[in-house]
Structure 1
Amino acid sequence: MTPARPGPPSVVTVVGIGAGGWEGVPDVSRSVLCDAEVLIGGPRQLGLLPPECAGERIVWPSPLRPAVPRLLAAHAGRRIAVVASGDPMFYGIGRALAEEADALRVLPHPSSVSYAAAGLGWPLEDVEVVTLVGRPAARLAAALHDGRRLLVLSADATTPGEVAVLLRDRGFGPSRVRVLEQLGGDRERVTAEASADDWAQAPPSGDPLNIVAVECRRASGALRLGAVPGLPDEAYEHDGQLTKKHVRAATLGALAPAPGELLWDIGGGSGSIAVEWMRTHPSCRAVTVERDPARAERITRNAERLGVPGLRVVTGEAPAALAELPTPQAVFVGGGLTAPGLLDACWEALPLGGRLVANTVTLESEALLADAYRRRGGELVRLAVAHAVPVGGFTGWRQAMPVTQWAVQKTLNPSPGADR
């Protein structure tokens, strides 16, 4: 008997709907919603649909993400429509549906960001969007640069107050802040407009459906943080265990972070390498391993302060603490090089194309790096930095301890000179 051919994949249609409700839904989207056998969405979105959309209504459970495949499987073969806010593919449910549905059709509505940019007269290509929906407010700090325009997606009515407090705390109190509510609906309005400094406290609670528009202005005297590695040493809380600015910039250059990549930062100290790796792109991830609990807590504070609260801090000693970590694209070893088997464990953890960079200032660890260079290839360099300091009534150079750095990429063919 010839086996039956599988039927066509079930198509899930996700329909965007704005604050204007049913009146703003185009005819094509209306037809899909009214024809659906199953309607899935949040209470607010489902409540915007008229009675003629007679499909079975299902409210997303919490937590939402694990429920997506289960609900799609439970209603396979039926006409499913998912109702979402605005553009479902812009920080919306569209991502999860695209990963789980056999086939996905998206009928978007203008997003609240598009409405905000239009109302403010801000070209979208010149605006940075930061979402605080389900994410800590601290991540906004990484986007703060003088003169930049930000649109902050709020989690609820308390978000504008959190934004104002963070701006003041990070030296951006003069920034102009506006709160835009119910964008695209009949109740659209700007409910607050002031500098962050002028908000002595969090503003009164408003509508939970809001966006915060920020025109960044750095306060006079506030520490300036650039967009490339090599932040001022003063940006970090530390106990002396800090990769200094010039060496840090060279180290990040050797590590060469790219969007979406994961770094292991071993012997984190103050966490500066992992922090600046993550600041290069919002999708960059890092795990820092630090054996000293006090330093591990300090790394967490530095990550919060500098806008990368997603940095994962593991308190433990390498190489044992590396066993359960996800595969990295790059590894930095800033401490603990003499731990037996550490360099070999890092090398084995890397996939082909992965990078390993190790720094040291001691002769004992330098010998290990020289041996690794002989066996694996790569580049072995010495970084020397001198600072001008007063010498009596004159000026002279004070030499910092030189740093030996080994940088290597894992390939099938080692660099010339490496052992075969």
Structure 2
Amino acid sequence: MDKIVVRGNGPLNGRIEISGAKNACLALMPAALLSEEPLTLTNAPRLSDIRTMTTLLQSLGVEVAAMQAGKVLSMSGHSADNHVADYDIVRKMRASNLVLGPLLARHGQAVVSLPGGCAIGARPMDIHITALEQLGAEIELRDGYLHATAPGGLKGAVIDFRFASVGATENLLMAASLAKGTTLLKNAAREPEIVDLADCLIKMGARIEGAGTDTITIEGVDRLRGATHPVVADRIETGTYMLAPAIAGGEVELVGARLDLLGAFTEKLDACGIEVTQTNTGLVVKRRNGRVDAVNVVTEVFPGFPTDLQAQMMAVMCTAKGTSVLEERIFENRFMHAPELVRMGAQIEVHGGVATVTGVDKLRGAPVMATDLRASVSLILAALGAEGETVVNRVYHLDRGYERVEEKLGACGADIERIQGDD
């Protein structure tokens, strides 16, 4: 397996281009199943998760062509006649479950393996299943697969999610777009990726109102057409690279970054002493005065502090002035990076879903192991400000969500390199 070696060598200075959002692109791609006409996505990120979704869609009969070095994806579902999403593909990525709604809407049936992804806690499918059943689907679990049918077709309904699930909201947006009648989604997720998917579906002819609020109305249509849509900038990649100069010092410009996508995250940056300036092309980020100040963090659904930036924020707090408390309310097993940061000299105590971090003057380089996608990059961030050499093992997680991380940080002066593994 590949490793990434980082040697802490002082401040970062330069420009980083922000890629299209992984989580948005993974929701947009299954929308190709909803139409016989081509769907083209521009600003697509070049990531292993995108390749996995490509493989899954191709297995379902979607024709996918990658152009401009993979930044443009052209997909045609005109011959998509397979409705079985196989375990060997789905097990690699949680977002594979997003084909369930489109397959039901298009074919009236779907067989989808229970999905995989990062081991960061339970992310149950029951919210998706219950909501689709309210639209008229009949779903049962057999041999690790969800077998779904809609004998009378999908029909609009009022759905009140017990939790504002991003994936369930996305699945229902796509399924309800072709359902008969009107669907009302209550307690819907409000993330920017939801808005991006709704905007794309509207371009395809869907009738959707309220995306970005907790109540979304979808009036079903008979068919959707093709469209061209740019993938929104990745707010999690943006937040990650905003924290790099917070740890290492210096000044970094993030080209294409959007402040409006980050919600409560930027408020925490301001509170701990990180200066963010909006420009015509993106954002400029730097520390105000040396070490940052400790702040407390509670992860919440958007517009609250994102769970996908909790690990990175913990890395920053490891060398902050004072003690911070980070509470994880989204996933119950998302502090697996803490023991690895402790190996680097961090002072962290974890009790259930709460981590207490007492800042130290400096971290020390050490061999560490990535346990999931966001943990991977948190260790790289920590290493940027550490003394000596850090070797981050098992970085295949990293490649699922960050495009050319060593090149982007290296262009800003980081001493970082990838060592190719034997397999």
Give TM-score, length-normalised by structure 2: 0.22
In our comparison, the structure showing a higher alpha carbon Rg is 1
Structure with more contact order per residue of length (Cα contacts < 8 Å, sep ≥ 6): 2
